[in-house]
Amino acid sequence: MSGLFEAVPGGGAAVALDEVEISILRSLAVQLLELVGPGDLPVEGEDPLATLFAEGPSEPPADPALARLFPDAYGGPDAKPDDEARALSSEFRRYTENDLRARKRDDAVAVIRSLDALTVAGDGGAVLKLGPDESRQWLGALNDLRLAIGARLEVTDEDSDELYRLPDSDPRKPMVMAYLWLGGLQESLVETLLS
């Protein structure tokens, strides 16, 4: 295996990872969980369905990484929304963000659990094998990680070539390397799922 996802019989995917890669992926998934937040648990003694039907926030997050993970539904990322677009986005967010956050948490937890279940061989590596459903959860988590890191790095489409030329002395270099590596994993997983 080449360190990128490859197809396995039955519609899943597999990737060879070393201990450092496993540690980095796990750490990033835990940080994603912390960023997205714990979610609302039913209050003791209250109807658990009340949490299920609770309304979410109506304002976009102030944190740029969260704003990238939970963008406004109306208007583009660079557009200055008018009052109507702002009202529509607010209404949409109120009814969808809690579910979206829950899905992102579930995807990150799936990554952590699958990494924790790996048995590292004597050479320090392991092969991660995912079924079709796990592959989709991994794809969601990899996408979320790249979006969050890209927001932290303030990456734009115009910056992509510049990222490859950062000097080793640049303090952003480790996060840029993680961002690019996650992009390769994500692309290979997409290709695997489409094959």
Residue-wise pLDDT for 167-193, tens only, equals 889 898 999 999 999 999 999 999 999
State the pLDDT confidence band at 129, using cuts at 50, 70 and 90. Answer: very high
Q: Give which of 97, 50, 101, 37 is closest to 72, Cα–Cα.
A: 97
pLDDT confidence of residue 79: 67
Reported pTM? 0.86
Choice among 22-26, 53-57, 64-68, 165-169 with the minimum mean pLDDT: 53-57
Which ranges constitute the DSSP H helices of the chain?
19-36, 48-52, 64-69, 83-116, 132-153, 160-164, 173-194
Amino acid at 44: E
pLDDT beyond 70 at 78: no
Q: Which residue has the higher pLDDT, 31 or 164?
A: 31
pLDDT confidence of residue 28: 97
Q: Give which of 148, 167, 182, 193 is closest to 3, Cα–Cα.
A: 182
Q: Give which of 130, 105, 113 is closest to 185, Cα–Cα.
A: 130
Percentage with pLDDT > 90 across the chain: 53
Q: Which residues pair with 127 in a beta bridge?
A: 16
pLDDT confidence of residue 151: 93
State the pLDDT confidence band at 138, using cuts at 50, 70 and 90. Answer: very high
40-68 average pLDDT score: 71
pLDDT confidence of residue 73: 83
Burial label for 60, CB within 10 Å (0-12, 13-18, 19+), is middle
pLDDT confidence of residue 40: 59
Q: Phi first, then psi: give them for residue 9, nearest 5 degrees.
A: -55, 140
Contact 61, 67 (CB under 8 A): yes
The angle formed by the CA atoms of residues 120, 108 and 41, to the nearest 5 degrees, is 130
| Average pLDDT of every residue of the chain | 86
